[in-house]
Amino acid sequence: MSNLNYMTQEGYDRLKHDLEQLKTNGRQEVAKAIAEAREKGDLSENAEYHAAKDAQGMLEMKINDLEKKLMNVRIIDESDIDTSHVVMLANVRIRNHKVNKEMTYKIVSEAEADIKVNRISVSSPIGQGLLGKKVGDKAKILTPAGEMILEILEITAS
């Protein structure tokens, strides 16, 4: 069950940095919170201690998740992108026919997705609907907000 995570070098470096921060600073902060809560007496009725232990569990889950993502990474060189059709890491300029608005998105891995900077996940409904389409194609995409018709206007690399 080795699901590969495709990402850019930039995305890989960011996740690696986040993981190191969680392992060092995050663990230190949680350990400090647990130690402070322990000093307050009876652990069975100490809400601060239980909250700190819960925070520790959540931190370790985050660390584990990032380690799994980084374990199965395949870094894609953005200069090798084929722009004859929509592929991962391509920039896609589209027109939403429902609202008659043009938008440009970069198709990225789940780990790199951030709608605020127009980076959508390849596994999202829109990402899936656009994959493989060529300039001039229209994609009918079923989203939670209803059906969208997106026309591919341009495909570029970086």
| Per-residue pLDDT tens digits for 125-143 | 999 999 999 999 999 998 8
The CATH code belonging to domain 78-157 is: 3.10.50.30
Q: What is the pLDDT of residues 69-127, one digit of tens each?
A: 888 888 887 777 888 999 988 999 999 988 899 999 999 988 888 999 999 999 899 99
Domain boundaries, the chain: 5-75, 78-157
The C-alpha atoms of residue 93 and residue 103 are separated, in whole angstroms, by 6
The CATH code belonging to domain 5-75 is: 1.10.287.180
Q: Which residue has 């993502």 as its token pair? A: 69
| Residue 7 burial class via C-beta count within 10 angstroms: exposed 0-12, middle 13-18, buried 19 and up | buried
